[in-house]
Structures are given as C-alpha cells and as structure tokens.
C-alpha cells in the first residue's frame, strides 16, 4: 500500500527502523534508493541505501562521514540529482557505448581479414598500432566526454525535471543499446576492411610499383580506423570545449607522429628486427589513390550514422532532443525570468530560512527556533513564516 | 542584532560543512598579521578594511572547492546540434563531391590498358603445359600475343600469382631481419623464426634464412617483337622496381668486399638456383640482399591474388609504348604453382595518376555519392512531414 502513495511520512522512528524502511523499498521494489539525512540517527539509513547523502550542519559530522555525497543544505539535492546525476548518467552511457563500438570496429577487421589470409590469424594492423590504439590514439577524447560532456546546461536541466526520466528508466544503456553498438562496430569494421580490400585488388602505385603490399594495406586500414573513431566521438560530443577539440586533433596528430617515427629510417637502423615497417607510411601516404581510399572509408563509416541519428531524432524525438532543439528559446525565457527576479527588489531567499528541524538527545539549538530568536520578524504582508511557532 | 547573530551562525555552519573538523575556524596569527600589514601599506582605509575582510574570509575557508571554470564545469563551449539546416545540405554537397571524384576515378581507370597472359600450363592446350611437370628442370616455353593498338608507355611488366598466401602469418615472420640488415653474427646463427628454413639437412646455416626468402619467384621472361618475320628483343629495365627505402635503408649487404667472403660457412636457400651473392654479378648495387627482384619478392603482398613488378619498358624506341603488332614471350619456367592450384600470369600495364587499373574505387565513390544524394532527399521529405509544432 505504501507504494501506491506519492509520499509516505514516518515519524518517531528509530534509526534501525529508518534503515529497515529503506531496505524494504530496495528489496521489494527493486529500485535504486537514495536517502538523505543530517544526524547521527540517519547513519544507518544512509548506509543501507544505494546512495547516501549527508547534510553537514547542526547535528554534527557523523552523517557526512558515512555518506557518498555531502553538502550543506537540503535544497542542493535538487541540483545533485537533476543536474549532476543526469549528466553523470549520460556521460557514462556515452562512454560505455563508444568504448564498445571502437573496440568492436578495431578487432573485427581481423576477422574479415582472416578469410583472405588463410585463416592464419594475421593481424590487419602493425603490432605497435595495436599496442597504442587503446592507449594513445583513441582514448583521450572519449575520456573527456566521460568527464565534461553536457547535453544541456544546468539551468535547463533544472527547468525540465522530465529530463531525469531516461536515467531512471535506464534507456541509454541496456541490452538493446549494447547490441546497437555491436552492430555499429561490425558495420564499421566491414567498411574499414572491404573498401581498402577492393582498392588493393590488382592495383599498382603511381610510379608502377605495386602499393598492394601488406604494409601499405595496414597503413591504410589503421589510418582509416583512427580517423573514423575520432570523428565519430566528435559527432557524439554535445559539449565542445577547447580541451575536447585538442584531444581529438591531438590523438590524430599523435597517431601520424608516432607512425612516421616508427616507419622512419633512423629507428630501423637502431632496431632492425623490431621496427620492420621502414618506409611504409611515407610510401603509402604519398599516393593520392590511397588517400581517396581513406576518405571513402571514413565517409562511408560516418555518414549512415549521421543519417540514422537525424531520422531518429526527427521521427521519434526524446524529451532531451526537443529541449535541445529549442534551447535558445528556453534560455531566453530563463534570462527574462531572472531579470524579473532581480528587478523586483531585495527578497530574503526563502530557501535559506531555517525550517528543517533536527532531533537530538541534547537540547541543541532548538531554543533559537522555538523562541523565534533566529527568525527576523517581518511586518510586511508576506505573512507566512514570521513568528510562526515551529511544530515540535 | 538577531540577524547579525544568525549570519554568524550560518557562516560557522558553512565552514564546518566542508567535511573537516572545526579547525578551519581558528585564525592563523601569522596570516592575519600579514594581511593587516599589507592592507595598512597598500590601500586606503576603507578599501583596506574590505579587502582584509574578503581575504580573511577566503583564508577561513581553506576547504572551499576550486571555483575555476574547469572544476565547476563552466568551460566556454560550443554546443552544436545536427539540425536539418546542416545535415541535409551537407549530405547533398558530400554526395555531389563523391560523385565527381567517382567519375574522375572511373574514367581514369578505364583509360588504363592492361594485358594479362596466363602461362601456368594447367590444360593440355596451353603452350606451357609441357613445363608444368615439377620434375622437369630448366624448361622453356613461348607464348604469343597480339596488340591491336599502341600500348601507351611507359609500360610495366608484372608477374601475377593467384591463391598464393604471402600474407599468411607464419610465412610472413619467417625471416631474419638482422641477417638482411647485414649483421654478420646472425649469418652463423639464424633466428628461430626461420625454422625449418634456418639450417639445411647438414646443419649449415642458410643465408638468407626463412620461408619468405626461400620461396622467391624465379621465372624469367624475355619479350620479343615480330618485325618483318624476325624476332627483335624488347629491352627490359630492371632498375628502380623496388621501393627506394627497401634498397637503401631496410636491407643492407654485409660490409665485406668481395661479397662472397661474407657468406663463408653458409649455404644458399634450398629452392634457389644461385646464391645471394650471385643474384647479379654485373652490378654491385644489385647484388646480394639489395637485389631488386629479391626486394620486390620480400615485400609481402596483402591479398592472395597479387602482382609484383618485374620490369619496365622504358628504353629508346619503346618510350612511347609498345606499337601494335605480334609479340612473343619466352619464359624460363622454374616456379611450380599447380600443387596448390595457383596460377601464374604475366601482366602488361600502363599507369595513371591513380596507379593501375582498378574500377572498384570509382564505382564505390559513385555508389556512395548517389546514396548520399538520395538519403538527403529522403531526409528532406521526412523533415518536412514531421515538422514539429511549437512544443513545450
């Protein structure tokens, strides 16, 4: 019956009973629970819930020290959930989906290549590329998405609480999304292998020397993959800061820098048997034909995704999409509201008025409240809190 | 007065809310004094008082989190959304660009002339059938062909192999890069990857070791043009057929003259008719490991059906190309491929800015370009249909 109610109030409960209520909800509703409290009697409840929030204040620091998040005022909970919680969920989901996609795209190329290499598990990239791919060539941009991305700014997130629903319903990362990432990775790996395969079938280089050798093939597939993966994350990023720009361009630059280094003459002289790709990058990448191959591969990997996303957002827009589309309009509305607030003179901010009560074994500061000493008496017609006797 | 006391209490609470003990409220005498001194000497009395208070407040809250743009997620950012105004024209432009490139590639590829002669001798009616028996050594056979029009120069001659997996993993690593770099120590002890082509049956080290070198292609060709009933040889140029980096950086001969001294105590690869130091006794820059045919062979092909450059026709009267007429090709058939159902071909080709004849890339660009244009029309229709009303 409690679940049918919008809100349930339990009063005169002991700490143990508070924890029991939370575990009841957790067990039978299979929900993610959050509990917030500020006193030592809330510690049990905070520890039992999935997320515990402590308010630091009158009652001491016990609640804060056993909690996952702590802040000073109850009203900050709204910001914690609607802004930071929502952003965190969206970032995590983008990060996970992208990580699965890029690794599927990277690995499955070998699967397709094995059909043409006698099933001998011949790698379709240089060994050093495989080592550095997840380390340097594709990880920084997605890491920054996981840290900084915001699809809507904080004021709009607070204005439209409905945007919080995808997080509660788990719509951004579930089995369906995982399989979509998988298929996306499969599609991109097919493109990255078969376009260069077709281009390398029976062709020769600009000066007659055949470029259809293994090392040039490897350079072409690796370059297309790095470009595709980095451009895909830049399409997925909603919040373009200077750092994300730098990360994407930096990853691509690092790739070319390291590749030309490894394929250079100097390093081969020092380690002849470790670096055997001498001259591959410079020979391959001076041919316009191979650059056209790379451009086609990258284009064919990215354009269908843009198209599908556009169609999806047009035909079945989510709440987030709708808000994003009309972002300017809403931001202007918010600014107008703020201006109105400012011009209407000084107002005591109601939210900071002390109206939360703490129960403790010692009298504490209750006198301040009960005698009305801490509340300014207001003679204006605002009515309400001035001189109101608090319920104890 | 009450408001003042409340304000102080509030400040006190905020301090404690940092999650630390009340240490923050203790004033540091040293800091306080320095603040006082600077304020005394550098500013007017009123300013000083205010500055001192502000600084005091800042030092009283040492636990306050950073209020920078990065830590408070307020970095200046660009938040693009892929709206219809960008996506649809973008697709049209990209589609048209791809179609343009595709047309260019296709026309160029069509203008490239290619002539393929299969001389495997698999069937009894083939001219080289008599040589296809592996037990016959030093067999010679002749193929005749006719050119209807001028075969524009410079003409390149390639030998092609099918069903030959040079990209097989174990085959590809079966070589010793240190030997090929001229390191004399490794001559006596080839690397273990070369097994079983590292030592011969009498346990003598093979130089160059490995399956990759051992399987070097050893058919030779001579091209004759029929002029007034008599055969006139077409001179073939064997210089500059391998990559410059291969010949000058990656592979080096050991530092001994005459070269044969370096090979004391070693044997030639099992399938080779001549040893490495006898590959071209007329030209010291084409002998040993830097022999052009050897280098071309060592550059592994990416796919099982490949072509490798054999010679170029660049001399004198053939600079403009091969004139129309009858030609005869004399082949020294030494390389046997029928055991693994492979085929051998001789290919004559000229090249363009994009290399040899390959229709795939041109057609692929045309297909992708037209798909882009079609999808942009589809997206335009969908967008027009789902034009959203003013929404909340």
In the numeric block, which tokens belong to residue A127?
């060994």
Residues of B in contact with A208 (CB under 8 A): 154, 156, 241, 309, 312, 351
pLDDT exceeds 90 at position A318:
no
Interface test with B, best of A197, A205, A210, A240 (most B CBs within 10 A): A210
For position A382, what pLDDT does the model report?
46
pLDDT category at B256 given cuts 50, 70, 90 is: confident
Residue with structure tokens 């399989």? Answer: A179
Span of A152-166, A202-216, B185-199 with lowest mean pLDDT: A202-216
How far, in Å, are A106, B129, B290, B358 from residue A296 at the CA level? Answer: 18, 44, 36, 15
What's the whole-number mean pLDDT along residues B344-361? 88
For position A353, what pLDDT does the model report?
58
pLDDT exceeds 90 at position A258:
yes
Backbone angles phi, psi at B280, to 5 degrees: -155, 90
According to DSSP, residue A85 is labeled: I
Distance CA A61, CA A65 (A): 6
Question: E-strand spans in chain A?
Answer: 34-37, 51-55, 69-71, 240-241
Span of A17-21, A322-326, B55-59, B293-297 with lowest mean pLDDT: B55-59
* Each residue's pLDDT tens digit, B204-249: 888 888 999 999 998 999 999 988 888 888 999 888 888 888 888 8
Bridging pattern class, strands B325-333 and B220-227: antiparallel
pTM to 2 decimals? 0.82
The SS3 assignment for A334 reads: helix
Q: Give the count of beta carbons closer than 10 Å to the beta carbon of residue B162.
A: 16
pLDDT category at B125 given cuts 50, 70, 90 is: confident
For position A208, what pLDDT does the model report?
67
Distance between alpha carbon A313 and the CA centroid of its chain, in Å?
19
Contact (CB, 8 A) for A225 and A106: yes
Is B168 part of the contact surface with chain A (CB cutoff 8 Å)? yes
What's the whole-number mean pLDDT along residues B129-142? 85
For position B93, what pLDDT does the model report?
95
Distance between alpha carbon B328 and the CA centroid of its chain, in Å?
37
In B, residues 338-357, which contact A (CB 8 Å cutoff)? 349, 351, 353-357
**Yes or no, beta carbons of A303 and B176 under 8 Å apart:** no
In A, residues 11-30, which contact B (CB 8 Å cutoff)? none
Measured between CA atoms, how close is B169 to chain A, in angstroms?
5
Residues in contact with B259: Cβ distance below 8 Å, sequence separation at least 6, in sequence order: B253, B277, B284, B287, B288
Which among A359, A361, A221, A346 is positioned nearest to B303, based on CA atoms? Answer: A221
CA angle B67, B72, B75 (to 5 degrees): 110
According to DSSP, residue A57 is labeled: B
Residue with structure tokens 């001491």? Answer: A60
Its sign, for the CA torsion A258, A261, A264, A266, is: negative
Measured between CA atoms, how close is B32 to chain A, in angstroms?
27
Which among A133, A138, A137, A114 is positioned nearest to A124, based on CA atoms? Answer: A114
DSSP secondary structure, B318-357, as one string: GTTEEPSEEEEEEEEE----GGGT-EEEEEEE--BTTBS-
**Nearest residue, CB atoms, A116 vs list B160, B303, B365:** B303
CA atoms within 13 A on the CB side of A87: 22
In B, residues 29-88, which contact A (CB 8 Å cutoff)? 73, 75-84, 87
In the numeric block, which tokens belong to residue B325?
């007429």
pLDDT exceeds 50 at position A177:
yes
Residues of B in contact with A203 (CB under 8 A): 355-358
Distance CA B351, CA A207 (A): 7
**Yes or no, beta carbons of B353 and A61 under 8 Å apart:** no
pLDDT exceeds 60 at position B381:
yes
* Each residue's pLDDT tens digit, A270-307: 888 888 888 888 888 888 899 999 999 999 999 999 99
Interface test with B, best of A59, A151, A205, A209 (most B CBs within 10 A): A209
In B, residues 277-306, which contact A (CB 8 Å cutoff)? 299-306
Contact (CB, 8 A) for B353 and B151: no
Distance CA A148, CA A87 (A): 9
DSSP secondary structure, B348-370, as one string: EE--BTTBS--HHHHHHHHHHHH
In the numeric block, which tokens belong to residue A286?
């001076």
Interface test with B, best of A153, A192, A202 (most B CBs within 10 A): A202
Distance CA B90, CA B245 (A): 41
Which among B297, B133, B312, B285 is positioned nearest to B221, based on CA atoms? Answer: B312
For position A255, what pLDDT does the model report?
95
Contact (CB, 8 A) for B153 and B313: yes
pLDDT category at B68 given cuts 50, 70, 90 is: confident
**Yes or no, beta carbons of A292 and B354 under 8 Å apart:** yes
pLDDT exceeds 60 at position B392:
no
Residues of B in contact with A210 (CB under 8 A): 158, 301, 306-309
In the numeric block, which tokens belong to residue A305?
């995704």
Compute the residue count for chain B: 392
Contact (CB, 8 A) for B354 and A296: no
Bridging pattern class, strands B220-227 and B151-152: unpaired
Q: Give the count of beta carbons closer than 10 Å to the beta carbon of residue A193.
A: 24
CA angle B308, B313, B318 (to 5 degrees): 155
Distance CA A267, CA B89 (A): 47
* Each residue's pLDDT tens digit, A67-105: 999 888 888 999 999 999 999 999 999 999 999 999 999
In A, residues 310-339, which contact B (CB 8 Å cutoff)? 310-311, 313-315, 317, 322, 324-327
pLDDT category at B4 given cuts 50, 70, 90 is: very low
**Nearest residue, CB atoms, A56 vs list B19, B166, B379:** B19
In A, residues 210-269, which contact B (CB 8 Å cutoff)? 210-218, 235, 238-243, 265, 268-269
In the numeric block, which tokens belong to residue A247?
């990360």
The SS3 assignment for B153 reads: coil
CA atoms within 13 A on the CB side of B48: 12
**Yes or no, beta carbons of B6 and A64 under 8 Å apart:** no
Its sign, for the CA torsion A280, A284, A285, A291, is: negative
Residue with the bigger pLDDT between B11 and B42: it is B42
DSSP secondary structure, B199-213, as one string: B-TTSPBBSS-SHHH
For position B15, what pLDDT does the model report?
38
- Share the mean pLDDT of chain A: 85
Residues of B in contact with A292 (CB under 8 A): 101, 105, 354, 361, 365
Q: Is the peptide bond before A376 cis (omega within 30 degrees of 0)?
A: no
Which among B101, B362, B364, B322 is positioned nearest to B232, based on CA atoms? Answer: B322
For position A324, what pLDDT does the model report?
84
**Yes or no, beta carbons of B75 and A204 under 8 Å apart:** no
**Yes or no, beta carbons of A208 and B154 under 8 Å apart:** yes
Span of A365-374, B74-83, B254-263, B377-386 with lowest mean pLDDT: A365-374
pLDDT exceeds 80 at position A391:
no
According to DSSP, residue B247 is labeled: I
Residues of A in contact with B73 (CB under 8 A): 148, 150
Distance CA A144, CA A138 (A): 11
Backbone angles phi, psi at A334, to 5 degrees: -60, -40
Residues in contact with A251: Cβ distance below 8 Å, sequence separation at least 6, in sequence order: A136, A137, A138, A139, A140, A141, A226, A230
For position B372, what pLDDT does the model report?
95
* Each residue's pLDDT tens digit, A29-56: 888 899 998 888 889 999 999 999 999 8
Residues of B in contact with A204 (CB under 8 A): 156, 158, 307, 309, 349, 351, 355-356
Residues of B in contact with A356 (CB under 8 A): none
pLDDT category at A383 given cuts 50, 70, 90 is: very low
Contact (CB, 8 A) for A228 and A304: no
pLDDT category at A351 given cuts 50, 70, 90 is: low
* Each residue's pLDDT tens digit, B283-340: 888 888 999 999 999 999 999 998 899 999 888 788 888 888 999 999 998 888 888 8
pLDDT exceeds 80 at position A207:
no
Instruction: Count contacts between A and B (CB, < 8 Å).
Output: 245
For position A182, what pLDDT does the model report?
95
**Yes or no, beta carbons of B183 and A272 under 8 Å apart:** yes
In the numeric block, which tokens belong to residue B376?
């942009």
pLDDT exceeds 70 at position B12:
no
ipTM above 0.85, yes or no: no
Q: What is the dihedral of CA A305, A306, A309, A315, to 10 degrees?
A: -130
What's the whole-number mean pLDDT along residues B355-371? 92
How far, in Å, are A35, A289, A361, B7 from residue A20 at the CA level? Answer: 12, 70, 22, 38
Interface test with B, best of A72, A193, A198, A213 (most B CBs within 10 A): A213
pLDDT exceeds 60 at position B37:
no
For position A180, what pLDDT does the model report?
94
Distance CA A60, CA A79 (A): 23
For position B19, what pLDDT does the model report?
36
End-to-end CA distance of chain B, in Å?
47
């Amino acid at each position: 019956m409690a679940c049918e109610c919008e809100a349930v109030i339990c009063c005169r409960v002991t700490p143990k009973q508070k924890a029991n209520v939370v575990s009841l909800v957790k067990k039978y509703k299979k929900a993610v629970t959050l509990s917030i409290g500020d006193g030592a009697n809330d510690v049990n409840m905070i520890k039992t819930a999935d997320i515990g929030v402590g308010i630091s204040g009158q009652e001491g620091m016990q609640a804060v020290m056993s909690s996952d998040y702590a802040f000073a005022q109850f009203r900050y909970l709204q910001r914690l959930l609607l802004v930071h919680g929502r952003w965190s969920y969206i970032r995590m989901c983008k990060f996970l989906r992208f990580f699965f996609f890029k690794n599927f795209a990277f690995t499955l190329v070998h699967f397709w290549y094995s059909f043409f290499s006698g099933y001998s598990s011949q790698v379709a990239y240089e060994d050093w590329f495989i080592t550095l791919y997840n380390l340097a060539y594709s990880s920084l941009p997605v890491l920054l998405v996981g840290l900084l991305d915001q699809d809507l700014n904080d004021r709009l997130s607070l204005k439209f609480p409905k945007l919080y629903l995808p997080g509660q319903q788990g719509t951004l990362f579930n089995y369906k999304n995982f399989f979509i990432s998988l298929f996306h990775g499969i599609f991109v790996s097919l493109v990255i292998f078969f376009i260069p395969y077709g281009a390398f079938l029976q062709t020769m280089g600009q000066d007659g020397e055949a470029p259809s050798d293994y090392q040039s093939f490897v350079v072409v597939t690796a370059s297309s993959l790095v470009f595709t993966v980095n451009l895909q994350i830049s399409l997925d990023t909603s919040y373009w800061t200077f750092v994300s720009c730098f990360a994407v361009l930096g990853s691509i630059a690092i790739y070319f820098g390291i590749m030309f280094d490894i394929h250079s003459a100097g390093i081969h002289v020092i380690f002849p048997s470790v670096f055997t790709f001498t001259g591959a990058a410079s020979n391959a990448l001076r041919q316009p034909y191979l650059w056209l191959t790379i451009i086609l591969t990258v284009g064919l990997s990215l354009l269908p995704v843009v198209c599908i996303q556009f169609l999806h957002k047009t035909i079945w827009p989510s709440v987030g999409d709708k808000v994003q589309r009309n972002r300017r309009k809403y931001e202007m509305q918010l600014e107008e509201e703020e201006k109105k607030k400012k011009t209407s003179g000084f107002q005591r901010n109601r939210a900071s008025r002390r109206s939360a009560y703490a129960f403790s074994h010692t009298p504490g500061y209750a006198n301040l409240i009960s005698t009305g000493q801490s509340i300014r008496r207001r003679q204006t017609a605002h009515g309400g809190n001035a001189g109101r006797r608090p319920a104890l | 007065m009450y408001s003042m006391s409340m304000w102080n209490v509030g400040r006190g609470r905020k301090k404690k809310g940092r999650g630390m003990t009340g240490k923050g409220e203790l004033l540091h005498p040293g800091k306080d004094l320095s603040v006082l001194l600077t304020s005394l000497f550098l500013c007017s009395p009123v300013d000083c008082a205010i500055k001192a208070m502000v600084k005091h407040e800042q030092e009283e809250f040492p636990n306050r989190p950073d209020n920078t743009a990065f830590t408070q997620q307020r970095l200046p950012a660009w938040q693009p959304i892929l709206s219809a105004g960008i996506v649809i024209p973008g697709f049209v432009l990209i589609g048209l660009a791809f179609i343009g490139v595709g047309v260019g590639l296709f026309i160029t590829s069509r203008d490239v002339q290619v002539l393929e002669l299969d001389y495997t001798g698999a069937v009894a009616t083939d001219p080289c059938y008599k040589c296809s028996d592996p037990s016959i050594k030093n067999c010679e056979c002749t193929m005749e062909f006719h050119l209807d029009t001028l075969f524009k120069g410079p003409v390149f001659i390639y030998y092609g192999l099918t069903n030959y997996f040079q990209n097989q993993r174990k085959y590809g690593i079966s070589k010793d890069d240190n030997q090929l770099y001229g390191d004399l120590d490794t001559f006596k002890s080839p690397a273990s990857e070369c097994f079983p082509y590292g030592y011969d049956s009498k346990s003598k080290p093979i130089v160059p070791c490995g399956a990759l070198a051992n399987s070097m292609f050893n058919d030779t060709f001579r091209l004759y043009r029929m002029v007034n009933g008599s055969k006139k040889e077409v001179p073939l140029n064997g210089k500059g057929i391998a990559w410059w980096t291969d010949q000058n950086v990656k592979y080096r001969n050991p530092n001994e003259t005459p070269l044969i001294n370096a090979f004391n105590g070693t044997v030639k690869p099992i399938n080779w008719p001549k040893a490495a130091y006898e590959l071209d006794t007329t030209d010291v820059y084409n002998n040993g490991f830097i022999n052009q045919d050897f280098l071309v062979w060592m550059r592994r092909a990416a796919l099982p059906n490949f072509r490798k450059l054999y010679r170029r026709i660049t001399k004198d009267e053939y600079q403009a190309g091969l004139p129309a007429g009858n030609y005869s090709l004399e082949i020294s058939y030494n390389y046997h491929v029928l055991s693994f159902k492979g085929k051998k071909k001789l290919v004559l080709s000229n090249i363009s800015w994009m290399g040899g004849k390959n229709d795939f890339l041109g057609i692929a660009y045309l297909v992708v370009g037209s798909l882009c244009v079609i999808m942009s029309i589809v997206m335009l229709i969908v967008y027009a249909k789902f034009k959203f009303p003013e929404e909340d």
